[in-house]
Amino acid sequence: MDNNHSSPSSDLPPDAEARVLKEARKEGFFAGMTGGLASAVLGGKLYRLSRNKTIICGILSGVLSGYLFTQAFSSTALAQLRAEETRRREDVQQVSETDAVSHPNSSSQ
């Protein structure tokens, strides 16, 4: 991920992106654990896999689904963060334009 999208005039906390990514990793981890557990249960009961194959199936499914969910959660969370940042910038710009229109001579005094 590139880091050239942060702006110094942002109203968001400086560590907002780090917090969002940490939360996405945590959610991805739990999604992977859930996927691995479900996969192991299905592999053992439905497909009647041996114990070792069931464990391998659960681990591989958990790691793969955790990785993919983490990627999805990260991109979604970063997109929401960018949208919030853009919305705040537009609000600030709109307020400053409204102030300039309502007080046109205040800057020349």
Question: What are the structural domain ranges in the chain?
Answer: 16-98
In this predicted structure, the answer to whether residue 105 has a pLDDT above a threshold of 70 is: no
| Res. 101: pLDDT tops 90 | no
Report the C-alpha gap between 33 and 38 in whole angstroms.
9
- On the question of pLDDT at 8 being above 60, the answer is no
Q: Which residue has the higher pLDDT, 109 or 89?
A: 89
Quote the pTM value: 0.74
Question: How many angstroms separate the Cα of 100 from the Cα of each of 11, 18, 20, 45, 104?
Answer: 21, 36, 35, 70, 5
Question: 38: Cβ–Cβ under 8 A, 6 or more apart, which residues?
Answer: 61
| pLDDT tens sequence across 18-55 | 999 999 999 999 999 999 999 999 999 999 999 999 99
Tell me the DSSP string of 42-64. HHHHTS---HHHHHHHHHHHHHH
